[in-house]
Every structure is written in structure tokens, then in C-alpha cells.
Structure 1
Amino acid sequence: MQSLCRDWENLSNKAASNHSKVTEDIDRVISDLESLRDLIQRGSQIEGFQIKQNNGLQPIMNRSKAATKAALQSHKELYSLTSKWQKMIEKKFNQTVLPLLGTNLVPGPQTETPKSKQPFLSRSAQQALNQVIIDHLLRQGRFETAQAFAQEAQVTSSAHVLEACQELFRINDCLKAGDLAPALEWTERNRDWLDARESPLEFDLHRSQFIRLLTQPAFDHRPIHSEPGKNAKDKMEVEVELGSSVEEDQKMELSSSDLHRDTKIEVPIIIEPHSNQPELEEDRHQEEYTKSRQLALEYAQQHFPKFFPKRWDEAVRLTASSLYTPFSRLKRSPYSEFYRLTDDADVGDESDCSQLWLHADHLVPLFTKEYYARLSWSKELPLTVATELGSGGALAKIAKVRSVMKEKRTEWSQADELPVEIPLPLEFRFHSVFACPVSKEQSTEANPPMMMPCGHVIAKESMQKLAKGGGTVKCPYCPSSSSMSSAVQVYF
């Protein structure tokens, strides 16, 4: 691949240099022709004017022929490099990807054979692929692109999928803006389903709303303490301005008091006393935090009790953190994990708390995950998973197996598995990989792995066979016996 990259860089550089050289020659020829046109227009007004071929036309013709010859030569060189590049690509990737099981995706007897060199030649395969692309674009929020692709591919996108994706992105945009109301409404509509799967989404939303209510003054105000020395500088400027204005008034009074020239007028310079504005701002800030604390505690009293059986400790810590307002103290409190920022902001900054980690960075992925699960959608985008797995080596292995099968003139008839094991990254292992040590079969949803009290794990069907219709199972690997009901399912 490194040699291919180097050749591609050379080809790109050659194309760029040829383009600039050809463009320069063409511009020069155009300039010569424009000059000749202007000369002809000026000479047409002169009687007996004529242009000699040796002096006017021949040099332009020569330069034009030279530019054409140079352009053809550069194009020939570029075409030669492009042909070599194409041959290297074909030599490096010379295997044609063929389907293992044909291209007919319609349930029923297989009517198409995998001998075609175009895996997506059938109409059903093309429609399925186009539908996957449309769903991929919709789940990425690229609604206009999905609509344009659907029109060009002549595929009707699902209205249900479109509405669901639009609702998801609308709620996620609200979460990023700090508005939790739409997400809370969705959790209320699906509360029974969320409780059944023990989802933390609803509590996390209420937790974030509690924190937002408690720290609301920090969102609304800038730091009230100015920089060191700034007050003194402002005071100095005020005194100078007051002094200069008094001096001007004194001059005006002296110039207008001709009748009282012997009277000495002394005008005192008034210096503004120290203002107590910072103290007033501080008191008002404390009052706002008192109100926000009361609102947050009322919100917690209304929404937290239903989560006490499972989130008691966290609910208590949240309510206790209200004793450490303002926000600058909350970030230094024993409950600072609830008030972390997404960036490395100054701990003492009272205004930089618009991106608490409990808002967008935490809630958007969590809500997206639960939303997909509610619709029975996969967490990862199917097209992304297929592309990454295929480009990660799976496609090459399948192509190799296909070539071997072609040489041996055999076909693979198992539609639910591949003829060779494909290594997968951990993030793409969605199913159990447990193989029962008794039956040597891989576990499935209908035949999950079960762990007995002794700690040994076998498949459920193997356990039922060992029980022989009774309620007691003897472990095949140790002397212990246990009842069928005491075994628990294991998730890998």
C-alpha cells in the first residue's frame, strides 16, 4: 500500500504541474490573439493598412503550435502514468467479490446463482441496498440527502423511519441546548418500557434538571469580582475626570466675574466616595442562589422519591450538594463529580458552567441508545458496521474462500453461517460466542449458556438432557448435583 500511495502522490503532482503549464500556454496564446485583434481594429481606420504575415501572424501561429504540441505531450505522459496506476490497482486487488449464496433476497427457493460477477445484479438486492443507504442517511440526520437519493434510486423511504429520526434529532438538539422538557416527555410516554429494562435515562434527566435549577444563577451572570487593580484604576480615572471638569468650571467662573476680581474663589475638588456596588451585587447573587436552591429541592422532592429503591445514595448526595452553593464552591465540594465541566475551565469561574457533563455529553448518547432500543433498531448503523468489517479483512477472507470453492467446484449451502471464521473487534461482537463443552454446539437465544451452583457452565439443552426429565442435574465435571431452577443464565 505504501508504494501505491507514493505512486498516487507522483501522479497527483504530475497532473497539477501539467495543468498549470498548459493553462499558462493557453493564456499566452489568448493574450497574443487579443493583441492582434486590437491591432486590426485600430488599423482598419487607416487607409492602406495591412498586416504582413512575417511580422504579425506567423509568430502567433508558431507559439500556438508550440503550445498545442506541449499540451499533447504532457497529456500523453499523464495518460501513461494513469494507465500504470490502473494496472497496479488491478494487480493489487485482482479478486472479484462474489456472493456466497446468490443475490436473491426474496424468501423462497433460490432462483439466482452466484456465478454472476455482479453481486447486486438482481432487483431485490439493489432495492435492499438502496434502502439500507436511505436508512443510514436518515439516522445520521441528513434528511435532504436521503430524500434526493430516494428520488434518484426510485425507492420509497419509510415514513415511520423518517418521523422517528426527525423526533430523535429534535430532542437531541434540545438536550444540547439545555432544554430537557422534550426528553422528559418522551420518558413519561415510555416509562413502563424503560422501567422494565432498568434504564437510567429518566433519573439522569431529572438529575440534570436538578443541577440546572441549582446552578441557574451561574448561567445568568458573569463573575462579579473584577480583575486585581481594576477598581483602583477606575477610581483614578473618575478622580481625574472630576478634577478636570472642576478646573474648567473654575476658569469659566473666573472669566465671568469681572465685578469681583478681588474675591478669591476656591472650588473644592470632589472625589467620589467608594461605592458599595460589589457588596450589593454579592447580596443579590446570594438571594438568587437561595431561590434556586429552594426550586431545586422542591423539584427533587417531587421527582426523586420514585427512584429511591434503586438510586437512593445518588439522590441523597444530590440534595446534600445544595448546601455548597454557589457554583464555584460546588466544584470544590465532596459532590464535585456532579458538576464537572467538559473543558478545562477555571475552577473559580462562576460563569463557565453552560456545558456540564450531565447535559449533552452524557444525555445525548444515552437518549439515542434508549431511543434506538425502543424502536428495536441496532445501536450501531448497519451500513457502518458492514463497511468497517468488510474493509477490516472480512471481505478478503470471504473472497479467498469463494475462490477456493470455485476451484473445488463446491457450493456453500448453509445460509445462516459462513464457511470460515471471521475475526471481529470487541465492539462488533453482538452475540454470544459460548460453545457448550458437552454438546460442542454454539449457544443461541433459544439455547443460552446456564451456570450451575458449582460454577460450571453448559448449554440449556444439555442441562435438560442430563436431567432426564427430572428436576435434578448432576454436573458432568464435578460430583455436585443441583436443581434445574437453581441454574442462572450467563451473558458473555
Structure 2
Amino acid sequence: MKRKRTTLDAGASSSNGSSSRKAGETHWETSILRAILERGADFHNASTSIIQELIGKIENEIKKAIEALQSSEAGPDSTSIINGLKANITNLAPKYQMESINNGTQASLDMLLMLLDCFFYSDISKAYMQNKHPNPEIVNDILANYLYRNNHFEAGDAFIREAGIPEICTLRSYYKEMHEILRALREHNAAPAIDWIHKINHGHPELVAPRLEFELYSQQYLEMLKSGANPLEAIKFMRTNLTLFDSLYQDEIKKLAGCALWTGRLDESPYADLLLSSKWDKLANDFTEKCLGLLEQPVRCHLTTVCNVGARNLPLLFSLHRIVGDQKEWESIESLPLHNETDVGERCNFHSVFVCQECRETATDVNIPLLLPCRHTLCWWSVLRLSHGGTATFRCPFCSSEVHLNLCVPLHV
């Protein structure tokens, strides 16, 4: 993974400085790699042109020799023509040109490999803390959950069986039902999804948003018309199910009613846009999101999130490991001193991140935010410093109110 060339200060408190330093290093390394790759691409394009030109010249010489042989009747003349062809091809020096191209390509590859070796770690185990083993039950549950929710039921069952942890994933049956419904939706059959909504909403009205149910009924109705079914049956289906949503989606229901006039040839009608296959894809995505929400599961599974965040922050862990140096000290760390530089990406920011305006430090499990009596907020380290270790009162940096550590309330963000 990417190796930071600039030494990072573990005690740095300025997030702006560290962020700009990190961005500068990344830009520098990326610029060098891009330059080498562009140089290699340019050389490849030039080499391709040279090779094509060389092949064209050789083809021309061969064609000339063939024409000369076809027009010549004497044997000795044939020998001289062949010898002339050999001489002409030798003069083109194809072997020398190919060797030159190969040497240039190899030089670019060697340079790229050397830079990759400088900028990337080949051994990611350096960032591993051997004394911090995750709870096996949690890991097994995450892995089983990942396999089942991604429709790998045979692999999930084999994993549970071989690990000797039966019934660790309580959501297996729900995932099984979810994927059976998704399979039906991919086949343009909304009936199983509609039955699922009725079952979920039984005794708990509106647990599933009416929009999803309406879309399912609409697509099922359109599928009946598209297949050339009896228009009266389709109209009966619409009156029975879609008119329930008349107060919410009246305009859309009018369009759907007009579709009945084009039974069997909807693709030629003014309503052809309602038949786009992307609507079924969106239905499947909306159903998946709703199903996972009812199971209290995130749209992106935990394993994917953990791997993405961990991979993004491997360079930071390598830098920290290099700063700490001693393996025992490294394994004793409970939280990252370089947490200001931790990058989880926008998709993995699930809640607000508090940054103390006094010391510019980001809140962590160790450096928690504290609410002062005056309703301003500081981090634990700032309060501890201002109160001289909690032994004295101090003034709020924002409103000058007197505060004591005992009056501060921890916040959870």
C-alpha cells in the first residue's frame, strides 16, 4: 500500500496542516506515477506505429517479389529475386527495431516497478496488532451474514458447518425469502413481493411505504397488458388494487388506465416509457433497501464497510507503525494519535464528526466531546488542559462562563 515519504508528527494537533501535508504527498507520488505511465503509453503508441509501418514495408517487398516471380520464367532469375527479397528485408533491420522497442518497453516497466516498490508496502502485516484479536463470534457472524445476504447460501452453510457454529446467523431464512422475491422481480413477477408486503403490513399498517406497494401493483398490471392477457382481467386487477391509491397517485393511475387501450402493443403506445426494464431494476433495489431496513441491516453490509475503511487507512497505519517503531509500544495503542488524518470516505460517514474548536482535534472514544453548562462543547483533552487536570475551574473560551469539570456532560455523536 502507499508509503508516506514525509515523517508524520504523532503529536500534531493541527488537522489543517496534517491534511495539507497528506494531500501534498499523495499528489507528488501520484504525479510521478502518472508521468511514468503516460511515458509508457506514449512509447507504446509510437512502437505500435513503428511496427505497423515495418510490417507494411515487409508486405510490400513480399508482394513485389511475388509479382516478379510470377512474371519470370527463368530459374536463375527466381533465385536472384529471392536473394533480393532477403537483402531488402535485412536492410529494413526488423530485428534491430524490435529489440529497440522491447528494450524501451522494459525500461519503462522497470522504472514503474521501482517506483511502486518505493511508494507501496508489499507486506501489509506490519499494520496488524497481534494482541488485538477480534471476537471470533462477531467475526463468524459477520462472515455468515455476508454470505447469506449475497445469496451464497451453500457457501454460508458450509462455513457454519465447518466452523462448528450452527444457527449463528438468525437472518438466514429472511435472506432466503428476500432473494426468492428478488429472483421473481428479475423475471418481471411482482406477485411474491406484493404478498410479502401484505404479510408485513398485517397488523402494522403502513409499515412498508405505500409508494413501493403502488409501484409493484403498477408493474404487475403493465405486465398483464404487455403479455396480451384479457384486458377485462387487467382492468379488474387495476380496479381492485390500484384504485386504493387514488388519493395519492391519481395522475399516474389515469395513465395506467389509458394503457388498457393498447393491450398487446404497449411498446407502440404513448405509454411505452412505462415499460422500461430499468423500472424493474429500481423496484428490486427499493425492495432490497426496505427489506434490509426491516431487518435492521445496513444497505452496505458490515464486511464491505470494514474492508473499505481499513484499506483506505492502511497508509496511515503504516506511517504510524514507522513512527512508533517498537512493536510492543505499537500493540499497546488503543486509539490512533493520527485520528485527524483518518479517512473513511463520504459513504462511510454515518453520523456527524465533532471537531473541537479549541484544539482542532477530532472526537474519539478516548477524546470524547463534553457539553459545558453554557451549552458550548469542547473535547475531553481541552477541558482537562484548561482545568489543570480537573482540579480548577476555567472560563469557556467562547463566552467566558466559569466551568468546572464535574458540571460537564459527555456527548455521544
TM (normalized to structure 1)? 0.43
Give the deviation of 1:194 after TM superposition: 7.5
Q: Does 1:134 align with 2:144?
A: yes
Residue of 242, 249, 259 corresponding to 1:311: 249
Q: How does 1:89-168 map to 2 (within 5 A)?
A: 92-94=121-123, 96-98=125-127, 117=130, 119-120=132-133, 125-158=135-168, 160-168=170-178
Identity fraction in percent: 21
- 2:170 is paired with a residue whose SS is helix
Tell me, what secondary structure is at the counterpart of 1:298?
helix
| Residues in 2 aligned to 1:305 and 1:436: alpha-carbon distance in whole angstroms | 55
Equivalent residue, structure 2, for 1:396: 315
Structure 2 contact 292–298 (Cα < 8 Å) conserved: yes
Q: State the match for 1:420 in structure 2.
A: 340
Quote how far apart the aligned CAs of 1:323 are: 2.4
- Pair 159,389 (structure 1): closer, same or farther in 2 beyond 3 Å: closer
8 Å contact from structure 1 (residues 131, 157) kept in 2: no
Aligned residue runs from structure 1 range 232-247, under 5 A: none
Higher CA-based Rg: 1
Q: CA deviation at 1:164?
A: 1.1
Give 1:145 deviation, angstroms.
1.2
Q: How does 1:85-484 map to 2 (within 5 A)?
A: 92-94=121-123, 96-98=125-127, 117=130, 119-120=132-133, 125-158=135-168, 160-191=170-201, 195-196=206-207, 198=209, 200-217=211-228, 291-292=230-231, 294-327=232-265, 330-340=266-276, 342=277, 357-359=278-280, 361-391=281-311, 393-404=312-323, 419-432=339-352
Query: In structure 2, how many angstroms separate the alpha carbons of the residues matched to 1:175 and 1:186?
Result: 12
C-alpha distance in structure 2 between counterparts of 1:424 and 1:194, whole Å: 38
Do the aligned partners of 2:309 and 2:344 also contact (CA within 8 Å) in 1? yes
Instruction: Output one character per residue of 1:391-426: Cα deviation in whole Å (capped at 9) or x when no partner.
Output: 2x22222343355456796966569x9823433444
Relative contact order, CA 8 A, sep 6+: which one is greater?
A: 2
Shift of 1:298: 1.6
Residues in 1 aligned to 2:225 and 2:121: alpha-carbon distance in whole angstroms = 62
Q: Is the 8 A contact 2:316 2:342 kept in 1?
A: yes
Q: Quick one: which amino acid aligns to residue 171 of structure 2?
A: V
Task: Name the CA shift for 1:141/1:397 in 2 (closer, same or farther; >3 Å).
Answer: same
Give the paired residue count: 253
Q: 1:325 to 1:170 in 2, by over 3 A?
A: closer
Mapped contact 2:208–2:290 kept (Cα < 8 A): no
Name the aligned partner's letter for residue 122 of structure 2: F
Pairwise CA distance, 1:431: 2.9
1:214–1:322 CA contact under 8 A, matched in 2: yes
Partner of 1:40: none
Q: Which runs of 5+ in 1 are unaligned?
A: 3-84, 100-115, 218-287, 343-356, 444-460, 467-492
Structure 2 residues not aligned, in runs of 5+: 2-32, 34-113, 364-370, 377-413
TM-aligned CA deviation for residue 136 of structure 1: 0.8
Let me know the Cα RMSD of the aligned residues. Answer: 4.2
Aligned residues of 1:401 and 1:420 also touching (Cα < 8 A): no
